[in-house]
Structures are given as structure tokens and as C-alpha cells.
Amino acid sequence: MPATKYGVRLGREPTSRAAALRCSVVVSWPVVRPGVEALALAPELVRGAEVGLVCNQASVASDLTHSVELLRAAGASVSLVFTPEHGLWGCAEAGEAVEHHCDEELGVQVVSLYGELREPPRDLLESLDLLVYDLQDVGARWYTFVATLYHVLKSAGKAGTLVLVADRPNPVTGSVVEGPSLDPSLRSFVGVVDVPTRYGLTPGELAYLLNSRLSLGADVRVLRMSGWRRSMWFDETGLQWVAPSPNLPTPRSALVYHGTCIFEGTNLSEGRGTTKPFELIGAPWLSPRRVLEYLGTRDLGGAVLRPTVFKPRASKYAGQLCRGFQVHVYDRDSFKPLASALTLLEAMLRTHEEYLEWVRVGGRYWIDLLIGRREVRERLEAGEGVSEFYRELEEEALKSYEQVFSKLAIYG
């Protein structure tokens, strides 16, 4: 196959170093190819079709060509895209509503699904031949792209529009599952389906789960990745990391996020507005020394706490010096992000009870919505330690999820 207009041969790979150097563009061949590239290899799937695309700045092929351009190169007409939280180019901050607009760079009309709308309008979907969903997720239940996928499938089911999910790697592997289940009474935009907080699925597998468990009635099919295995971390895929949201600049931050995101539910800074979001945790009133005295160690099991001082440029405590910690992961295979974050939260609560506060949103505790259970906050407030109750909650969730997970896995 000749080189495509977006700079990478998608057919047979060069057989020697000399052959690689003769390519129009010298590339490092990735181990994994994202699902969207299947449309370049099989353009008959979209040629001549009016295609809508759910995408953002991380919706790119292995050569970093945006998926809008790839679809057009395959012969599709793409004039309408739908975007999740943070918008088409990932510039909006967390929780910031994004308006509908026209993007001149890509030449598309942008319909925001994180503003006045959360669900694609049925009439727009009915005007399309098919819809391609192509978002890089991070594998956390509370990440809002999960809810966006849910609403896309729900609306597509009503409209009778085919959805092709262009699959992408779970950056923290698809072989580890962690965290408690979701209490149905705490269902929200950061928790739409009862899975553990770290659910171990790819976007394609998650689409099958949402469609079946929540009876959405969508005609959904997965464009599979090539080369991906469940045990792979993102840096083993050969793909370039494009931050799917502003505060996940690296795969490492995406891993730590599976635990330290819970600090959003407190008046502690979770590092937003710094160069190490979710790796830095602290507040102007925090004493790292007192926290470490309570813990008796800086080691959280696979990660170590480094006392530090930082000044957020935005978000909580903007412009103020915060004392706290940076979480340094030294063994990602043994590191348990949520259990570690809860252990750190327990220590901060016990040593700073007069300062630490819970954040409420719409009358509900945000930490309850994130974790999906009230028991964690309530039992910490009652004086229990994380080691006394966390394993019980997690084992209950994993036991019920095991059979569901095994049926959904489409990769080995």
C-alpha cells in the first residue's frame, strides 16, 4: 500500500532499516494500532457516508493525524463532531461548560456534550449514516468520558444510528481491577454504571457493557486495536500520549489519578494548576511531618511520599503556598492507587480534623459520588481505619464483577 496522505504506511511494514529510511516519513512503528486506523485499511466501511465523530484532541492515529482527517481520507464526509468535557482541543477546565461552535481548523460543526447538552440530539444522529466514537479513556469509573459514552449509546439506540467504537488502550492496563462497586443511589455523571472504580476495560469493551447492562438498545460495534494485550501499560504500546484532558499530562498522572482524584471531594488541593496534577496533594494548613508521624512510613506500597511545597496557579488555593506531598510511583505493578489515596486521606483527617472539610455538590458529598459509596466517608468519620473496611468493600465488588468482566474481554 502506498504512503497515505497523512504520512504513515498502514499496510505492510518495512522489512529492514534501509527500507524504513526510504519511506517518505521516517517513523517508529508502534506495537499497537488504535481502532480508528481500521477505517483507513477498510475505507469501504465509511466511503461516501455522512459520519459523525465523538472526539477531542487525543483522537489521533498512530502518526498523530487527527481522526477527522483520517475519516476524510477514507472517503467519509465529516462535518459534525461531538465533544466531551474539556472540549475539542482540551482547553476547558474541569467542570467548565463548553459551548457549541464551528471549528475552522478542522472545518466541522462542534456540538458540545458538556454544557447545555449531555446527550447527542436524536435528530442530529438520525441525519447521519453512522457515528464513530473515538475518545482515549483512562479506565476510571469517575472519568466523565464514561458518562459521555453512555449518553451517546443511549441516544443512538433511540435514533437507530450505528455506532462504531474506535478502540484505544486502557493506559493503566486491562489486567487490574480495583475499588468498590457503585451504590445505585449515588448514580451521577461521575458514576453511571456499577463497575469498580478501576474497571480494567477498553472503551470498546465498556461500550458493550453499558449497552447490555443498561439496556440502551444501540447497534454498537467495535473497531478493534491491533497488537494490544491486557497486560500492557501505555508506554509499552509504542503510541504517543496525547493528554485526553488538561490535568492528565502523562500516563503516570493517569495512574495516580485512579486514587488521588478523591481529594477533589475535600478542601485539599489535588495538584490542579501545577505541573504535577494528581501527583501533588496538599493545603496551606497541612503539616507533612504530622501526617508522616501518623503513617509511620513514607511508603504506600509501590509509591513513596515526598514532602514538598507547591503553589497552584489555578483551582484550589491559587497563588498560595501549599504544604503536602508528591506521590512518586516506583513499582506500578504493585501500586494500588485508591487504597493508597484513602490511606493518605485517613492520615490527613486524623492529624488535621479541625481543618479538613468535605466538598458538597448539589447537597451531596462529592467524595461519595466519586467513590460510589457513602461508607468510606462515614466509617472514616466514625474513627475506623482504611485497613479495617476497604478490603471488605473491594472484595465484594470484585467478586460480583469477575464474571461480567470475563464475558466482556475481547483482548487476551
Residue pair 187/147 in contact (Cβ under 8 Å)? The answer is no
Cα gap 273→317, rounded to integer Å:
9
Q: Strands, E, within 182-224: which ranges?
A: 220-223
pLDDT computed for residue 15 by the predictor: 39
135 Cβ neighbours under 8 A, 6+ residues apart: 54, 55, 56, 58, 59, 84, 145, 148, 149, 168, 203, 244
Question: Which among 387, 67, 15 is positioned nearest to 242, based on CA atoms?
Answer: 67
pLDDT computed for residue 2 by the predictor: 34
Percent of the chain with pLDDT over 90: 92
277-335: per-residue pLDDT in tens?
A: 999 999 999 999 999 999 999 999 999 999 999 999 999 999 999 999 999 999 999 99
207 Cβ neighbours under 8 A, 6+ residues apart: 133, 149, 153, 163, 165, 220, 222
Task: Give mean pLDDT, residues 234-254.
Answer: 98
pLDDT computed for residue 26 by the predictor: 43
- The residue ranges of every structural domain in the chain are 17-236, 251-373
Task: Give mean pLDDT, residues 263-278.
Answer: 98
pLDDT band at 29 (very low <50, low <70, confident <90, very high): confident
Total residue length of the chain: 412
Residue pair 136/241 in contact (Cβ under 8 Å)? The answer is no
Task: Give mean pLDDT, residues 397-401.
Answer: 93
pTM passes above 0.75: yes
- What are the DSSP calls for 236-298, one per residue? GS-PPP--SSTT--SHHHHHHHHHHGGGGGBSSB-STTSSSTTTEEEETT--HHHHHHHHS-S
Report whether pLDDT(23) > 70.
Answer: no
- What are the DSSP calls for 44-95, one per residue? GGTTT-EEEEE--TT-B-TT--BHHHHHHHTT-EEEEEEE-TTTTTT-SPTT
SS3 171: coil
pLDDT computed for residue 40 by the predictor: 93
pLDDT computed for residue 288 by the predictor: 98
Cα gap 186→296, rounded to integer Å:
34
Fold of 251-373: Aspartate Aminotransferase, domain 1 (3.90.1150)
Report whether pLDDT(5) > 50.
Answer: no
Cα gap 88→92, rounded to integer Å:
9
Report whether pLDDT(12) > 70.
Answer: no
Report whether pLDDT(11) > 50.
Answer: no
Cα gap 52→77, rounded to integer Å:
9
CATH number for the domain running over 17-236: 3.40.50.12170
